[in-house]
Amino acid sequence: MDALDEAVFDRMTGLASFEADRVWWDLAFGDPGLPLAVLRAMPSIPPEYDSSNLGVEERTIRVSVYAATRDRVRELLREVEAAFVMQALALSRGSVMHCLKGSDDCFLDPDRDEDAALVWHGVIDLVFSVCRTPGD
């Protein structure tokens, strides 16, 4: 896991709505219960032009949240957005210059939970501009 992934995971598990066992990378296992969040690192994009000796890249982390109601999913998306967008985020290596919201969406998930109840799914893309030193 790289420095950005670690920092995002740590901040997510510190949010009031999520317990440590309800935030996952790529796929949730077992029955963690709702609400839960699944994080996915999207491919990074290098800048079109970089005149510095530091490497700058755009990194997107897609956060999917799941809850029993549409209103709860919207609350969770707002909480995630408030925790990251235009907020400082310390990394163990490199630095985050800023974080912007790429897109978001909320919809009824086609799958149901183990009790056949409806599950709502929300997605927010967090776009980080990350500055790293060569070799990181």
Domains of the chain: 3-132 (3.30.2000.10)
> What is residue 120's predicted lDDT score, i.e. its pLDDT?
93
Average pLDDT over residues 34-49: 81
Checking if the pLDDT of 48 tops 70, the result is no
> What is residue 9's predicted lDDT score, i.e. its pLDDT?
94
Give Cα separations from 3 to 7, 86, 94, 122, 132 (angstroms). 6, 18, 8, 25, 10
